[in-house]
Amino acid sequence: MTTQTEFRSCNLCEAICGLSIEHDGSKVISIKGDKEDPLSRGHICPKAIALQDIHADPDRLKTPMRRTESGFEPISWDDAFDLVESKLTEIRKQHGDDSVALYLGNPTVHNSGALLFQKYLKQALSTRNRFAATSVDQLPHHFAASHMFGHGLMIPIPDIDNTDYMLILGANPAASNGSLMTAPDVKNRLKSIVKRDGKVILIDPRRTESAKLASEHHFIRPGTDVFLLAAILNNLFQNDAVQLGRLNEFTKGVDQLKSAVAEFTSQNVSEITGLDSATIENIAAEFAAAKRAVVYGRMGVSTQPHGGLCHWFINAINLITGNLDRTGGQMFAHPAVSLVGKLGTENEFGRWKSRVRGLPEFEGDLPVAVLAEEILTPGEGQIKALITSSGNPVLSTPNGVQLEQAIEQLDFYVAHDIYINETTRHADLILPSPSGLETDHYDFIFLAFAVRNVAKYSPQLFAPVEGSMYDWQIMKELSLRLMPKGKFFQKALLRWLTPDRLLDLGLKTGPYGWAKSWFKGLSLKQLKANPHGIDLGELKPVLPKGLRTSDRKINAAPQVYIDHLNRELLPELKAETESRQNAAANDFSLIGRRHLRSNNSWMHNSQRLVKGADRCTLMMNPADAERLDLVAGSAVAITSSVGSVKAPLEVTDEIMPGVVSLPHGYGHHRPNTKLSIASQHAGVSINDLTDDKIVDNLTGNAAFSAQTVQIEAANDE
């Protein structure tokens, strides 16, 4: 048997680890870490090995499938596209463009072709009912970046390799490999901070895998991070720890920020957060005294009722201590292909609102928490048809049962996906694409959030099944067929475009391309000649030149944040305490959790990733279990305002009293799916409990974390 070794990046999570893959031309022999990859340095996690499982999965669709009364049946590509064109044209003609909705799932950003060509599909549909996984995840990051720095993708990241003090909230990088912080081998990066006499402080309602790497771990009541961050800010102001340095020349609003947080003292947030005032004050003092420090917050602070304010405060703490855009602080990557556009895009918010609840759009997308109600509520503008791309919103968005009911009443639903999953099982038509190993790839998004500037191209490893269509080809064909008549130039250009042509143009016009050297600048040809990737160096300061605000200044206190704080957060200083005093004995605050061998629902059909002990358990503190007379391993009923599920109880002191935790991405018990392995590890969906009406009222992001549930022993039925 003749074998060969090729190099590429893993596209299953944000770490994008470099891989060395040995294969025989049709089958993977081994997958190892690429020691010459300048970013991951030979590190991989178990998910990378599972790339071969997805590629060889017998459940993976390889031809379009149409739903009939007797189940899904194959259909030709031509017939499939004809069906989409006729159905959506008819629906749009009768009900208007907004009657068709588009949902883009998380895997879209893990596929460069889909990422590049989704914008043409959006343009062709011309609908205001656009949704994405962004609004059940990182929307508050984008919101803060837009209002403070001028562009939604100007998200600063921790310079983890050079910091002396890292304060982490709502993140578990040991399980996520870093998130909105592309940091493969993050465990060793965290350990290195401590080894160089630095400190890692973790704030989390659960003593996570990352807590074992931290210098200190402190419990915090779910949903109260905003009060802790406000108190740290206030403490910094009150102790004259404001040191903007060179940032002062291009920063505005610091005085307004100081006034906004003046009432949030360590004493009056202590009871709310569960952290004593001395601990809060000590964290603020240590942060201010550190030579190089950074605050980092992720999913846990994004998906709570004040996620938007949390990320404003995180950026503000880094800013006023002079740790923004500074080595060892919070910095901006300088990727080979720039994703940041023109000046003055900070106001792309609230230009229209959802029809039923009136939640605002952000950069063209509405919060996905309103999707079900926009389908279920009759009247002008009601959604009648849906396109989903690489998503499973029944399991990943709030109130999944309601969304299922909504999808069932659509006039037409087309899914772009490789599986018949809990959402796509309702589709009239499924359009599959090749596996990741059959696809060329460049990580536009994650290289823009990498802790080191690198560029790397991953050519396809295997040829796809004859007659397959890549993600970008599917989106291109849909765009051409749904584009308004008369767009001759636009259609001709779209027919010519390919991902490689767009990537090559982006590289050549980027900061390392023609601008650096007309003859030797970075190009696709150069990337292909360097299969391990090209190291472009450490993160460097980019401000003020990199700012995209209209006035080229950092806005430390955008008015939209000030108004929201005064309207909602200040009154909660008292209301939060009262609500806890009135809580029932079996009321708990629900949080999610992530595992290293999982990345949303699409990772559960690989045996090597789901094997072992049941991970879909409800974690509870021993004191709570004893108080409610519940026994480890027994089934418990978990009930919220929208639903109830049953799960086995896991009793552990790793979780804070009054808090319970379920993992995300399970619920594979639903009938008529084709996920043979996942269905054997079905678990329950946390989003059968989460209330779609509970959102961050500032950004519209779903507030999964800290929702109230009741726990009791499950009956035998």
Give dist(CA 524, CA 327) in Å, integer. Answer: 30
pLDDT higher than 70, residue 345: no
The pLDDT assigned to 416 comes to 98
Give dist(CA 26, CA 570) in Å, integer. Answer: 61
Give dist(CA 501, CA 255) in Å, integer. Answer: 48
pTM: 0.97
Give dist(CA 306, CA 302) in Å, integer. Answer: 8
| DSSP one-letter code for 615 | -
β partners of residue 23: 4, 28
Give dist(CA 219, CA 166) in Å, integer. Answer: 17
Give dist(CA 108, CA 92) in Å, integer. Answer: 25
Strands 28-33 vs 18-23: parallel, antiparallel or unpaired? antiparallel
pLDDT, one tens digit per residue, over 271-293 is: 999 999 999 999 999 999 999 99
- 139-336+547-560 folds as Dimethylsulfoxide Reductase; domain 2 (3.40.228)
Task: Show Cβ contacts of residue 518 under 8 Å, excluding neighbours closer than 6 positions.
Answer: none
φ, ψ of residue 224 in degrees (nearest 5) = -110, 10
- Coil, strand, or helix at residue 380? coil
Report residue 400's pLDDT band, with 50, 70 and 90 as the boundaries.
very high
The pLDDT assigned to 130 comes to 98
| Range of weakest confidence among 29-38, 583-592, 614-623 | 583-592
Strands 429-431 vs 412-416: parallel, antiparallel or unpaired? parallel
The pLDDT assigned to 602 comes to 78
Give the C-alpha distances (Å, rounded to integers) separating 123 from 97, 102, 120, 484.
11, 11, 5, 10
The pLDDT assigned to 685 comes to 97
- Calculate the average pLDDT of the chain: 95
Residue (of 201, 271, 246, 256) closest to 579 by Cα position? 271
Sign for the pseudo-dihedral over CA of 204, 324, 132, 425: negative
The pLDDT assigned to 585 comes to 72
Give dist(CA 213, CA 47) in Å, integer. Answer: 21
Give dist(CA 270, CA 84) in Å, integer. Answer: 56
pLDDT, one tens digit per residue, over 641-684 is: 999 999 999 999 999 999 999 999 999 999 999 999 999 999 99
The pLDDT assigned to 644 comes to 98
Give dist(CA 441, CA 457) in Å, integer. Answer: 6
From the number of C-beta atoms within 10 Å of its C-beta (0-12, 13-18, 19+), residue 69 rates as exposed
* Equal CATH topology for 139-336+547-560 and 583-713: no
Query: Tokens in use for 205?
Result: 């309602």
pLDDT higher than 90, residue 347: no
pLDDT, one tens digit per residue, over 482-521 is: 999 888 999 999 999 999 999 999 999 999 998 666 667 8
The pLDDT assigned to 346 comes to 67
The pLDDT assigned to 143 comes to 97
409, 441 Cβ separation under 8 angstroms = no
Containing H/E element for 569?
Answer: none
Report residue 149's pLDDT band, with 50, 70 and 90 as the boundaries.
very high
Report residue 717's pLDDT band, with 50, 70 and 90 as the boundaries.
low
Three-state secondary structure of 629-676? CCCCCCEEEEECCCCEEEEEEEECCCECCCEEECCCCCCCCCCCCCCC
pLDDT higher than 60, residue 702: yes
397, 687 Cβ separation under 8 angstroms = yes
- Indicate the domain borders of the chain: 139-336+547-560, 583-713
pLDDT higher than 60, residue 704: yes
Q: What is the mean pLDDT of residues 367-387?
A: 97
307, 696 Cβ separation under 8 angstroms = yes
| Range of weakest confidence among 68-72, 219-223, 514-518 | 514-518
Containing H/E element for 190?
Answer: helix 186-195
Q: What percent of the chain has pLDDT over 70?
A: 97
The pLDDT assigned to 581 comes to 57
Report residue 190's pLDDT band, with 50, 70 and 90 as the boundaries.
very high
Residue (of 75, 70, 83) closest to 672 by Cα position? 70
Q: What is the mean pLDDT of residues 416-428?
A: 98
The pLDDT assigned to 343 comes to 61
387, 416 Cβ separation under 8 angstroms = yes
Give dist(CA 262, CA 565) in Å, integer. Answer: 12
The pLDDT assigned to 575 comes to 79
Region label for 576, one of left (φ > 0), alpha (ψ between -120 and 50) or beta (otherwise): alpha
Give dist(CA 55, CA 50) in Å, integer. Answer: 9
β partners of residue 268: none
Residue (of 622, 437, 469, 494) closest to 117 by Cα position? 494
Give dist(CA 658, CA 649) in Å, integer. Answer: 15
pLDDT, one tens digit per residue, over 591-620 is: 999 999 888 787 899 999 999 999 999 999
| DSSP one-letter code for 394 | H
**Architecture of domain 583-713 in CATH?**
Beta Barrel (2.40)
Q: What is the mean pLDDT of residues 546-560?
A: 96
The pLDDT assigned to 341 comes to 75
pLDDT higher than 60, residue 434: yes
